[in-house]
Amino acid sequence: MAATETTKLESTPGFLIRDLPEGEGWVGPVRLGARLLAGNALMYARSETYALALTGRHMGGATLGLKVPPEEREAAVAAAATELAGLLGGRPLMVEPGLRMTRSALGPLSEGDPRDPVRLTDREGITLADEMTGTAAARAGEILLDGLEGRRVAIEGTGPVAAGVARAVVAGGAEVVRVATAKVAVSGSFSPSSLLGPIDELGETQPGWRIWDGEDVDIVFCGSKPGVLGDAGAGALGTTPVVAYGPAAVSPKALASLNRAGVPSVPGFVCRAAAMLSWWPDDGADADSLVARAAAWTGEQVTAFGSHDKGLFLGACLTAESRMSEWAPELPFGRPMG
């Protein structure tokens, strides 16, 4: 059995990518679009695979692509849910909203999800899981910088997880001084909630690549899409460290450039794994204790990875691979780098 399987759906245009098909279940996004390509979806699954490995789960990542226009979304979701119920043999496919999807639109695909609903608790406009991802990223940054107090932070990307990052770094005494989307960067001083909406009107706009200018910031957080940090961006960072909060945000060439410069970086699957602690929480754990647990767990992991002879980023990858190899007969080819 191959370590990664791509299945073409028969009931509706689309595909399912699964890492570790012999696993106990799979986790990943549902993405919608008539022109989706399975190759472009792989890294979303791979990042989940590595995150699950860090938490010790015998599961793999997945991506479900529905290749239909938005007006056909409901029918495609229903058809895919019925088909996958037969294909997966009772093992769960735990889905998250991806491109052009909302949580409510997941409908029958999310029925029977075995994860604890505490992960979806509203925390001032974002879910607990998103807050935990942001908290994990901030804790990783705190370790890289030996403290957040008085630090100047740049955040690439917007949305709930980016807002969670901003919330956590501000709570640690840092200031968010630059934010960016793919096209636009804005400098100033930003509240965490400002990352939940459009940033164009928050100040004078600059080209989006300005987010990688490391001269006047202490750290950059990124994660809007796989490979968002490329070789050119890595070179512009200088000696400024990077923490990814999203899947496969650092490209292979960017990682090579960072490593040559001796710049530490944290892969996004580490922060994602911290959020997974809310999926199967200990008895009696509430939202506040889970946020604290995400920070503590991330601190332990990043400290350990940082002492690896291959460096922090690859140390995290090798640790995940070692844990996968304890139960999986074959590992997926390719690490989670965009």
Which residues have C-beta within 8 Å of that of residue 274, sequence separation ≥ 6?
A: 132, 133, 135, 136, 294, 295, 297, 298
Question: What CATH number matches the domain at 4-114, 3.10.20.30, 3.40.50.2000, 3.40.50.10860, 3.50.50.60?
Answer: 3.40.50.10860
Count CB neighbours of 289 within 10 A.
Answer: 12
- Phi and psi at 330, nearest 5°, equal -150, 140
- Name the amino acid, one letter, at 28: G
Average pLDDT over residues 84-88: 94
Q: By C-alpha distance, which of 88, 139, 171 is closest to 275?
A: 139
Going by their DSSP bridges, the two strands 152-156 and 175-180 should be labelled as parallel
Query: In the chain, what percentage of residues exceed pLDDT 90?
Result: 97
Top pLDDT among 184 and 284 is at 184
Cα torsion 272, 274, 278, 282 to 10°: value is 150
Residue 280 confidence (pLDDT) above 90: yes
- pLDDT score of 223: 98
DSSP secondary structure string for all residues of 218-244: SEEEE-SSTT-B-HHHHHHHTT--EEE
- SS3 at position 101: coil
Report angle CA 305, 221, 56 to the nearest 5 degrees. 40
Angle at the Cα of 33 (from 181 to 193), degrees rounded to 5? 30
Average pLDDT, the chain: 97
Averaged pLDDT for residues 231-251: 98
Q: State the Cα–Cα distance between residues 317 and 266, nearest whole angstrom.
A: 10
Domain ranges of the chain: 4-114, 126-306
* Each residue's pLDDT tens digit, 244-264: 999 999 999 999 999 999 999
Mean per-residue pLDDT, 181-203: 96
For the segment 31-46, what is each residue's pLDDT rounded down to a tens digit?
999 999 888 899 999 9
Cα 239 to its chain centre, rounded Å, is 24
**Alpha-carbon distance values, 146 to 117, 149, 150, 219, 288 (Å):** 34, 9, 11, 12, 24
Query: For residues 154 and 152, what is the distance between their CA atoms, to the nearest angstrom?
Result: 7
Q: Are 36 and 252 in contact (CB under 8 A)?
A: no
Is 116 in a helix, a strand, or coil?
coil
Strands 184-190 and 219-222: unpaired
How would you write 265-316 as a 3-class SS string?
EECHHHHHHHHHHHCCCCCCCCHHHHHHHHHHHHHHHHHHHHCCCCCHHHHH
Q: How many CA atoms lie within 13 A of 200 on its CB side?
A: 3
Residue of 277, 256, 274 lying closest to 265 (CA atoms): 256
Q: What is the pLDDT of residues 44-85, one digit of tens each?
A: 999 999 999 999 999 999 999 999 999 999 999 999 999 999
Instruction: Give pLDDT, residue 261.
Output: 97
Same fold for the domain at 4-114 and the one at 126-306? Answer: yes
CATH of domain 126-306: 3.40.50.720
